[in-house]
Amino acid sequence: MIAIDTVLVKVASRCNINCRYCYIYNMGDTRWATMPKRISHATITALAKALGDLSRAQQRRFAVVFHGGEPLLLGPKKLGVLLAALRRALPSDYPFSLQTNGMLITQEILDLCSEYRTSLGVSIDGPPDVNDRYRIDHEGKGTHKKVLEGIEKLQNHRDSDFLYTGLLAVIDPESDPCEVYNFFKTLNAPSLDLLYRDGNHSRLPYSKASFQSTENGRWLAQFLDIYLADKKPLKVRLLDDMIKLVLGGCGTKEGIGANDFGIIVIDTDGSVTKNDTLKSTFNGADRFTRRWSVFTNDLTEVANSSEFLAYHTLQRPTASACLSCPELSICGGGMLVNRWRDDSGYHNPSVYCADQLFLIGHIRNRVADLLVSHEV
Ligand code: SF4
């Protein structure tokens, strides 16, 4: 059986904002419109039972991540029901976290998350001019001001040391990395994670000119230089992981390095799906052939199935360019979603291959310089 380390629960299928680059709503998939807007009480009960059974069967801790759409659209009352049910079903040391756009954070929500030991990560892409180019509401207005208000509530909560786990930013290679880095430092985040935009060979990510272009790699290399020059740096997970990998250690992030992750996604109707970012490849790409559901199936049955194994194995790249690549152990072939091409499926290097090679080369040079200067 594949060990499950993360269960991602989609608690709301809609979002209160409309990011231009969003893989759920703006990249071709339309199935979200047929899903229940919010997880129901019946699904919460079935989910709690399924997760309790999985926990006993695999005897190994997994993390539970609440996601959307925007998970706080669930509202405090039902969020409390969900968290209470899952806390009753699972051992107390299982980490719970929630990824939010921050706009709906209230004191009541934070008190609930504190009570049920659920930490929050907030998505924000940088200062107002960077964030509001893409992270807009349904009227096309920027969201930055509201998100900052949410982050401020999070920072000021009596339990913020536990609750505030960090920020998640999608890279905009047209932004100034110095301005972005300095902005994030003002938010006193315990950590920052950076993501490439979703996209693939047939539908290039926003702001990527071609497969050969390196704008994202160059942006990250500049960001790395600012980071390394900072005497009191932010914790930047993507860069920390890549530096560790270059030095021969292990990464902790899906999509880089050679570690595989066992991730199950539960949708608002209780169905079991693949990683939902695959929605950006083709309509229905995140669906298994089998219609598994927490109402009718044991999650160990899913984790034991040949279809789940085949999906899990796809984390390892299959393209000959990757298999013979000297940087495979660092890059890992990138995220599955970024390998897609309409005529050859996932059998390609990442659409960010040139960016990755540029960044890894830069990290190698910087690490070598630092080791030499340290010896001197
Ligand atoms: S995506 Fe590119 S850099 Fe990454 S392993 Fe494949 S060939 Fe190497």
Encode pLDDT of 173-226 as tens digits: 999 999 999 999 999 899 999 999 989 999 999 889 999 999 999 999 999 999
Residue 7 near residue 264 (C-beta atoms within 8 A): yes
Checking if the pLDDT of 262 tops 80, the result is: yes
Q: What is the predicted pLDDT for the residue at 260?
A: 84
Question: What is the pLDDT confidence band of residue 63, given thresholds at 50, 70 and 90?
Answer: very high
Question: What is the pLDDT confidence band of residue 25, given thresholds at 50, 70 and 90?
Answer: low
Checking if the pLDDT of 303 tops 60, the result is: yes
Ligand 1: centre distance to CA 15 (Å)? 34
Q: What percentage of the chain exceeds 70 in pLDDT?
A: 97
Q: What is the predicted pLDDT for the residue at 23?
A: 57
Q: What percentage of the chain exceeds 90 in pLDDT?
A: 77
Checking if the pLDDT of 158 tops 90, the result is: yes
263-266 sheet: strands from edge to edge: 192-195, 164-170, 118-123, 96-100, 63-67, 6-10, 263-266, 272-273
Residue 51 domain flag = yes
Distance of alpha carbon 355 from alpha carbon 35, whole angstroms = 36
Residue 34 domain flag = yes
Mean pLDDT across the chain, nearest whole number? 92
Residue 367 domain flag = no
Number of compact structural domains in the chain: 1
Q: What is the predicted pLDDT for the residue at 214?
A: 98
The residue count for the chain: 376
Query: Under 8 Å CB-to-CB from 144, ≥6 apart: which residues?
Result: 124, 127, 128, 131, 132, 135
Distance of alpha carbon 124 from alpha carbon 126, whole angstroms = 6
Question: What is the pLDDT confidence band of residue 339, given thresholds at 50, 70 and 90?
Answer: very high
Q: Which atom of ligand 1 is nearest to the CA of 326?
A: 8
Checking if the pLDDT of 26 tops 60, the result is: no
Instruction: Name the token pair of 370.
Output: 């630092």
Q: Which atom of ligand 1 is nearest to the CA of 352?
A: 1
Question: What is the pLDDT confidence band of residue 28, given thresholds at 50, 70 and 90?
Answer: low
Ligand 1: centre distance to CA 317 (Å)? 9
Checking if the pLDDT of 357 tops 80, the result is: yes
Mutate to test the pocket of ligand 1, among 339, 357, 362 (most ligand atoms within 8 A of CB): 357
Residue 351 domain flag = no
Would you call 84 exposed, middle or buried from its count of C-beta atoms within 10 A (0-12, 13-18, 19+)?
middle
Residue in this structure with the two tokens 């920027």, named with its chain if needed = 142
Residue 91 domain flag = yes
Q: What is the predicted pLDDT for the residue at 96?
A: 98
Distance of alpha carbon 331 from alpha carbon 325, whole angstroms = 9
338-344 LR contacts (CB < 8 Å, sep 24+): 338/196, 338/198, 338/199, 338/200, 338/205, 338/255, 339/200, 339/201, 340/200, 340/201, 340/202, 340/281, 340/282, 340/285, 341/200, 341/201, 341/202, 342/201, 342/202, 342/282, 343/202
Would you call 138 exposed, middle or buried from its count of C-beta atoms within 10 A (0-12, 13-18, 19+)?
exposed
Distance of alpha carbon 362 from alpha carbon 369, whole angstroms = 11
Question: What is the pLDDT confidence band of residue 137, given thresholds at 50, 70 and 90?
Answer: confident
Residues within 6 Å of ligand 1 by CB = 317, 321-322, 325, 327-328, 331, 333-334, 349-350, 353, 356-357
Distance of alpha carbon 175 from alpha carbon 320, whole angstroms = 34
Mutate to test the pocket of ligand 1, among 346, 348, 351, 356 (most ligand atoms within 8 A of CB): 356
Query: Under 8 Å CB-to-CB from 137, ≥6 apart: which residues?
Result: 16, 17, 18, 143
Instruction: Name the token pair of 228.
Output: 């390394």
Ligand 1: centre distance to CA 10 (Å)? 31
Checking if the pLDDT of 320 tops 90, the result is: yes
Q: What is the pTM of this model?
A: 0.92
Mutate to test the pocket of ligand 1, among 208, 220, 335, 353 (most ligand atoms within 8 A of CB): 353
Checking if the pLDDT of 22 tops 80, the result is: no
Q: Which atom of ligand 1 is nearest to the CA of 339?
A: 1
For the segment 130-151, the average pLDDT, to the nearest whole number, is 91
Residue 250 domain flag = yes
More confident position, 240 or 257: 240
Residue 242 domain flag = yes
Question: What is the pLDDT confidence band of residue 240, given thresholds at 50, 70 and 90?
Answer: very high
CATH of the domain at 240: 3.20.20.70
Q: Which atom of ligand 1 is nearest to the CA of 349?
A: 1
pLDDT in tens, 120-134: 999 999 999 999 998
* Domain span including residue 87: 6-313
Residue 356 domain flag = no
Q: Which atom of ligand 1 is nearest to the CA of 356?
A: 3
Checking if the pLDDT of 30 tops 70, the result is: no
Checking if the pLDDT of 24 tops 80, the result is: no
Strands 118-123 and 96-100: parallel
Ligand 1: centre distance to CA 324 (Å)? 9
Checking if the pLDDT of 3 tops 60, the result is: yes
Checking if the pLDDT of 233 tops 70, the result is: yes
Ligand 1: centre distance to CA 49 (Å)? 41
